[in-house]
Amino acid sequence: MIERLWTAGEMPLSDGLYRPDDTGLEVHVEGPGAFHPDAGQPIPFRLGGPFDVAQAIEEDGIEEVNTYFESPLPDGSGWMSGGGGGMGNIGYLARLDAHRSLRWVAVMYHSNPFVEVHYEGVTAVFTNDWRNRLTLDLTGQQFWAYRPPNSTHTCHPVPYAKP
């Protein structure tokens, strides 16, 4: 379901970290969002527990993906993609493998679209259209636990070279 949506240029509308095996984790993003007085601030981000992906899509629907950037990871193992959807309030971040297949996509209803990324070692710093920043350690277990179909091994984090 998630892989099919992504291939069609769509994503779920519910806040969440979605994987191609149709599992998901709750995503909590609280302000500052797009509030103009808070522009240029860090975006608080935390992951919660698993949720029913099919139910979330049924209840909240889907949205077209508007990609603002695709950036190669410093170690060459894949790509980060970012952008948004909706009427300008929705942001997404996606980790793609070296062949640009989806590893995960994080959808955030109130984050605003993400327009750029830069890397600081194993950390990616994403900036939205109000210059707010979201920082993620890409080696965190929640970002690499997905096992691709027909794989005999679990994906492990790869150290990133400093750019």
- Token pair recorded at residue 8: 């069609």
Confidence of residue 158 (pLDDT cuts 50, 70, 90): very low
Q: For the chain, what is the mean pLDDT?
A: 83
Look at residue 141 in the predicted model and tell me its pLDDT: 66
Mention every residue, 6+ apart, whose C-beta is less than 8 A from residue 141. none
- Token pair recorded at residue 65: 């993906």
Q: Is 161 inside any structural domain?
A: no
CA distance 129 to 6: 22
Residue 100: how many CA atoms within 13 Å on its side-chain side? 7
Give the structural domain span for 26: 2-143
Q: Is 159 inside any structural domain?
A: no
Look at 92 and 139; give whichever has higher pLDDT. 92
Look at residue 121 in the predicted model and tell me its pLDDT: 86
> In the predicted model, is pLDDT for residue 144 greater than 60?
no
> In the predicted model, is pLDDT for residue 89 greater than 90?
no
Look at residue 86 in the predicted model and tell me its pLDDT: 80
> In the predicted model, is pLDDT for residue 94 greater than 50?
yes
Helix (H) or strand (E) holding 54, with range, is helix 53-60
Percent of the chain with pLDDT over 90: 58
> In the predicted model, is pLDDT for residue 162 greater than 50?
no
Q: Is 81 inside any structural domain?
A: yes
pLDDT tens digit sequence for 34-84: 455 567 778 888 889 999 999 999 999 999 999 999 999 998 989 999 999
**pTM to 2 decimals?**
0.84
Q: Is 100 inside any structural domain?
A: yes
CB 95 within 8 Å of CB 80: yes
Determine which of 2-6, 81-85, 128-132 has the lowest per-residue pLDDT on average.
128-132
* Nearest of 135, 10, 3 to residue 67 by alpha carbon: 10
Q: Is 59 inside any structural domain?
A: yes
Q: Is 50 inside any structural domain?
A: yes
Q: Where are the beta strands (DSSP E) in the chain?
A: 10-12, 16-18, 24-29, 45-50, 62-64, 66-72, 78-85, 90-97, 102-108, 114-120, 123-128, 133-137
CB 146 within 8 Å of CB 102: no
Confidence of residue 4 (pLDDT cuts 50, 70, 90): very high
* Nearest of 87, 65, 73, 77 to residue 18 by alpha carbon: 65
Which amino acid would we find at residue 84?
G
Number of domains in the chain: 1
Q: Is 35 inside any structural domain?
A: yes
Q: Is 155 inside any structural domain?
A: no
